[in-house]
């Protein structure tokens, strides 16, 4: 393999890695956002149920932890 051929092969690999890192960051951000939304919804649901059932604060903290 000639040196020029090796350089041609290495360049696309570096570009692929950059694309992969960008995609990974995007996936991590989407996962973080959906987890935050899930936890907010769960907290609101538990708070609403506690309010309607007049649940003690100790029970509510166990539900949301």
Residue-by-residue pLDDT tens, the chain, 65 positions: 556 666 566 667 788 889 999 999 999 999 999 999 999 999 888 888 878 877 777 887 887 77
Which pLDDT value is given to residue 11? 67
User: CA 27 to CA 35: how far, in whole Å?
Assistant: 12
Q: What phi-psi label fits residue 47: left (phi over 0), alpha (psi between -120 and 50 degrees) or beta?
A: alpha
Measured at the CA of 63, the angle between CA 48 and CA 44, to 5 degrees, comes to: 30
Say whether pTM exceeds 0.75: no
Domain boundaries, the chain: 3-64
DSSP H helices in the chain: 3-53, 57-64
């Amino acid at each position: 393999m000639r040196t020029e051929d090796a350089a041609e092969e290495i360049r696309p690999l570096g570009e692929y890695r950059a694309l992969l890192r960008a995609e990974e960051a995007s996936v991590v951000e989407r996962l973080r956002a959906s987890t935050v939304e899930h936890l907010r919804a769960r907290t609101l649901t538990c708070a609403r149920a506690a309010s309607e059932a007049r649940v003690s604060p100790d029970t509510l903290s166990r539900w949301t932890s």
